[in-house]
Structure 1
Amino acid sequence: MWKNVSAELLREIRIGTFDARFPGELELAQRYGVSRGTIRAALRPLREAGHVSAHPGRMPKVVAGKSTAYGPLYSLLASIRESGMTHSSIVLEQNIVQNSTVAAALSMDATAELFHLARIRLADGEPIGLDEVWLPADTTSALQDSDFSQNSLYGELDRRCGMVLDGGTESLSAVVADKGQAGLLACSAGAPLLLIERVGCYRAQSLEFRRSYVVGERVEISTSFGCKA
């Protein structure tokens, strides 16, 4: 039941029904003739996917333009959530580091401290990607206590730090898995991977450097722009 309600909510979000005001849980329950528990379950993947804000104690609202600013990897993971598949992560590293190469990409001093998160991304328990991200530690320290085995980075960045990416640059290229990556992704060495590298921005400042390896044979990435055919 909740999946049907979630799909209908997403459809209405995309056509602009809730741009002016997003209803509360009770109003939505009455609108769709279901319980508040069903509404909460329906809203959960929409919040995790970034379609609806999720600040405690505040009325939810549609987050305009957010998904498109996050690029194809984000769209892939959002699609997994919306399809009803179970999305989770295995956290490999969650720490504070220094990395001069990443710092240069973020226009920071070479010795600047960075929040680093490395995860294996899973869909229904199957590895689909290996993901590493770095952010300036001084503005994202609240993320150190987050549970990223279930929570999304962008959802936590919004909820804990009040920051939403609004742009960036991204490159995609085809590579093959080395032995280390193959072991983590349960694929053969030499298997095709899609490498996505990006610098995400917030208010015209570089905020995120991300490097993601996606198992090509296990995913399909599609996107849309403008009107839908």
Structure 2
Amino acid sequence: MSGSSVPRTRTPPGDGPLWSRVEADLRARIEAREFPDVFPGEHALAAEYGISRHTVREALRRLRQEGLVLAERGRPPRVASDGVIHQPLGALYSLFRSVENSGRTQRSVVRALEVRRDPEVAGLLGLPADTLLTYLDRVRLADDEPLALDQVWLPAARTRGLLAADLTHTALYDELWTRCGVVVAGSTEDIRAVLVDDDRAHLLGVDLPAAALLVTRTGLVADEPFEHRRTLVRSDAFALTAEFSARDGYQLLRSDRRGRPAGPPG
């Protein structure tokens, strides 16, 4: 029809699956601060890119898993730009990645990286009490501001290569793979609010009385316990988010009095 115009769709650059290209394009637009207030919904993005909502959902799923885009019930989606590190529940994540993806620089102060014995932790990993463990103790920082205290125990027999690693600006899981050939492919976590004592408050840079999130993780390799981690995170700088769907619902793992996973409720 004369004088009519057809809206041009945005073509995501690059090669690979369409959802991956859309994800990369949206990530670049987020980094360029193109969405300061409200992030476009599925309908708008499908129309803008000329693609199906299914493809849009797959691209957005990755961004939500990393905490870059927040989708809360009753509120329009938005970019996580409030200075808080947002981490979705139910995803195996790296705190290093979560901080870096938020646009901040992650750095660690390594307080200990050594081999030691810990009968209690060995028992939690299903190992003999005298098993040697690689122990890592770090203060995690985001843009030089204390964010978390992190303690990790791993079987030393398979992780001695970590002792030569510089863990001040890297992801532990990356080092586990490159130096030890170990991939942590799953985990169970117990998350609870706790009060911090004076020493930990000083390390976290908070005033007493102060609450924090204690995240106790068992990392799994080949479905077997391999990593025991205790992370104390500032509750004013870290938030956990969850997604719900009519198809999948929402499931929680309950814990027994020792904090061990006790299976699905019911």
Alignment TM class, shorter chain as reference: 0.5 to 0.7
The structure 2 residue matched to 1:141, chosen from 145, 150, 160, is 160
Specify the alignment match of 1:86 in structure 2.
105
Which residue type is aligned with residue 164 of structure 2? Answer: D
Taking only aligned residues, the RMSD between alpha carbons, in angstroms, comes to: 3.0
The structure carrying a bigger helix percent of its residues is 1
TM-score with structure 1 setting the length:
0.66
Q: Give the Å deviation of 1:78.
A: 2.0
Given the superposition, is the C-alpha separation of residues 217 and 14 from structure 1 closer, same or farther in structure 2, using an over 3 Å criterion? farther
Specify the alignment match of 2:114 in structure 1.
95
Given the superposition, is the C-alpha separation of residues 14 and 81 from structure 1 closer, same or farther in structure 2, using an over 3 Å criterion? farther
SS for the counterpart of 2:236 is helix
Measured in 2, the distance between the counterparts of 1:140 and 1:196 equals 22
Specify the alignment match of 2:92 in structure 1.
70
Structure 2: tracts of 5 or more residues without a match: 1-11, 23-27, 29-65, 67-88, 248-266
| Runs of 4+ residues deviating >3 angstroms | 12-18, 223-227
Q: Give the Å deviation of 1:182.
A: 0.8
Measured in 2, the distance between the counterparts of 1:200 and 1:16 equals 28
Specify the alignment match of 2:19 in structure 1.
15
Of 96-105 and 156-165, deviating more is 156-165
Q: Give the Å deviation of 1:84.
A: 2.1
Which residue type is aligned with residue 208 of structure 1? Answer: E
Task: Give the greater-gyration-radius structure (CA).
Answer: 2
Q: Does the CA-based 8 Å contact 1:201-1:207 persist in structure 2?
A: yes
Q: Give the Å deviation of 1:68.
A: 6.2
Q: Give the Å deviation of 1:219.
A: 2.0
Measured in 2, the distance between the counterparts of 1:83 and 1:199 equals 25
Given the superposition, is the C-alpha separation of residues 102 and 159 from structure 1 closer, same or farther in structure 2, using an over 3 Å criterion? same
Q: Does the CA-based 8 Å contact 1:177-1:188 persist in structure 2?
A: no
Specify the alignment match of 1:151 in structure 2.
170
Q: Does the CA-based 8 Å contact 1:115-1:141 persist in structure 2?
A: yes
Which residue type is aligned with residue 165 of structure 2? Answer: S
Q: Does the CA-based 8 Å contact 1:69-1:165 persist in structure 2?
A: no
SS for the counterpart of 1:210 is strand
Which residue type is aligned with residue 70 of structure 1? Answer: L
Structure 1: tracts of 5 or more residues without a match: 1-7, 19-31, 33-48, 50-66
TM-score with structure 2 setting the length:
0.58
Specify the alignment match of 2:71 in structure 1.
none
SS for the counterpart of 1:181 is helix
Number of aligned residue pairs: 170
Measured in 2, the distance between the counterparts of 1:208 and 1:89 equals 19
Cα deviations across residues 150-209 of structure 1 (Å, max 9, x unaligned)? 121111011111211122211000001101101111112330100000111101221100
Q: Does the CA-based 8 Å contact 2:96-2:170 persist in structure 1?
A: no
Specify the alignment match of 2:149 in structure 1.
130
Q: Give the Å deviation of 1:77.
A: 3.8
Which residue type is aligned with residue 213 of structure 1? Answer: L
SS for the counterpart of 1:163 is coil
Measured in 2, the distance between the counterparts of 1:220 and 1:15 equals 27
Measured in 1, the distance between the counterparts of 2:178 and 2:244 equals 27
Measured in 1, the distance between the counterparts of 2:244 and 2:181 equals 27
Measured in 2, the distance between the counterparts of 1:91 and 1:155 equals 17
Measured in 1, the distance between the counterparts of 2:18 and 2:221 equals 23
> Which protein, 1 or 2, shows the higher relative CO under an 8 Å CA cutoff with sep ≥ 6?
1
Measured in 2, the distance between the counterparts of 1:91 and 1:161 equals 20
Which residue type is aligned with residue 195 of structure 2? Answer: V
Given the superposition, is the C-alpha separation of residues 80 and 134 from structure 1 closer, same or farther in structure 2, using an over 3 Å criterion? same
Given the superposition, is the C-alpha separation of residues 158 and 15 from structure 1 closer, same or farther in structure 2, using an over 3 Å criterion? farther
SS for the counterpart of 2:219 is strand
| 1:195 is aligned to 2:206 | no
Show the 5 A alignment for 1:148-187: 148-187=167-206
